[in-house]
Amino acid sequence: MPKKQKIVTGAYIAFAALFAVAPVSNAMHIMEGYLPTGYCVAWGVICLPFLIAGFTSLKNKVKENRKNLTLIAMSGAFIFVISSLKIPSVTGSCSHMTGTGLGAILFGPAAVSVLGIIVLIFQAVLLAHGGLTTLGANTFSMAVAGPLVTFCVYKLCRTAKADRRVSVFLAAFLGDIFTYCVTSIQLALAYPSEAGGVAASAVKFLGVFAPTQLPLAVIEGILTVVIVIGLETYARPELRSIGFLSDRKEA
């Protein structure tokens, strides 16, 4: 018995240590080739209405004012760069933000769905985070579901007259957590557990990714707050140009 316990403890320590030495512990991108074909296609199809809605809204924005094209493109690049720069982490491993939460607060969920898929393509091709076959699933979790939650929470907190910082933190934090839950469920649907089916499998995936994702969500929330505060202090005209401050009288 003690020997077996030793094995279990050893295995767990090895598993935990893995996250300290792994080259990148990233926001949850499902790896290339990890989902069966049916699921790849299905998630892509689910994303389609959101992408079309986002695309139409972008098209209208560009038609309205041609200047918006460069602004939208810059916003997309901003999301990519924010998500590819190393953020301060507690464990010392190299981790990154999703960036889509900040994007959803600043640019709205419709724009982020299209920008998100472009950013995800770049992350797959330039950074090897995620992949082409899993693009649909990743888009749904990171560019559709997460930003939608972020945006709804943010609007809800604002209408409830919550403190701006608190609402930004909650929005980014919950959006990140939701992304992580959706990804776990996506994996669980594709790989149901032999003992307990999809639900048990979802718990397993949630558990396995918890050590990296929970601290990351907190840090992402804090960083989003700090960035938004910085923007409100120094970048009022720029925020107005993207329509972030237009609804406020004092701005």
35/148 with CB nearer another protein:
35
- Give the dihedral of Cα atoms 26, 27, 33, 37; nearest 10 deg: 170
**Nearest Cα to 137, choosing from 209, 84, 190?**
190
* Nearest distance, CB of residue 159 and another protein, angstroms: 25
**How far apart are alpha carbons 128 and 113 in whole angstroms?**
20
163/238 with CB nearer another protein:
238
Structure tokens at 140: 């749904």
* Nearest distance, CB of residue 126 and another protein, angstroms: 5
Q: Which residues contact 178 (CB under 8 A, 6 or more apart)?
A: 145, 146, 149
70/156 with CB nearer another protein:
70
Phi, psi at residue 25, to the nearest 5°? -105, 105
With 0-12 CB in 10 A as exposed, 13-18 as middle and 19+ as buried, what is 163? exposed
49/196 with CB nearer another protein:
196
